[in-house]
Amino acid sequence: MFNELMQLVRRELYAGKPDKTWFAQRRLVKKALIYPARWLDERKVPITSDKYRAIIVGIVEGMVKHGQIAQVTYMGRYLLTCVQKHMEVRGDSEIALKWLRPILVTKGNGKRSADFILACQEAATACAKHLSVKTEWRGRQHSVTLFGH
């Protein structure tokens, strides 16, 4: 699976760039691809390979669709930053949904109060809404205007 993800990154983000660039940044790309696994492991969250692949593919597709990757000079660093931001923003919601799903599916087997089940349903709805939030890339000039660098 890891080699497949490396090939995806090379094909989507390094297309048209010299091989030298790919090989020079490959170590940072590996770090970026491993980051979600370390992040989830620190929080003791098991994940299937399909879900892991979906996270990475989603990030790369988002970069291609919304980012201005032709203007990025150091793609490995940009990829790592995007992965870190993704896990920072969406990771906790995925963890919360992981713990809420079994409660909602079993309805607590009669062991939990209706108020508790309702609170879990509301939390799951809030997490799902949070996961569906889309960000918009406004370009470097917008950041320079906002932050002055």
Q: What is the pLDDT of residues 28-48, one digit of tens each?
A: 999 999 888 888 888 777 777
Q: Which pLDDT score is estimated for 143?
A: 65
48 compared with 53, residue with greater pLDDT: 53
DSSP code per residue over 28-91: HHHHHHHHHHHHHHHTT----HHHHHHHHHHHHHHHHHHS-GGG-S-HHHHHHHHHHHHHHHHH
Q: How far is CA 69 from the centre of its chain?
A: 17
Question: pLDDT (tens digit, 9 = 90+) per residue, 127-141?
Answer: 666 555 555 666 667
Note down the domain range covering 75: 2-147
Provide the domain count of the chain.
1
Query: Residues with Cβ < 8 Å from 61, sequence gap 6 or more?
Result: 12
Are residues 100 and 127 in contact, defined by beta-carbon separation less than 8 angstroms?
yes
Its pTM surpasses 0.95: no
Give CB contacts under 8 A, 24+ apart, made by 129-137: 130/90, 130/93, 131/90, 131/93, 131/94, 131/97, 133/89, 135/66, 136/66, 137/66, 137/67, 137/68
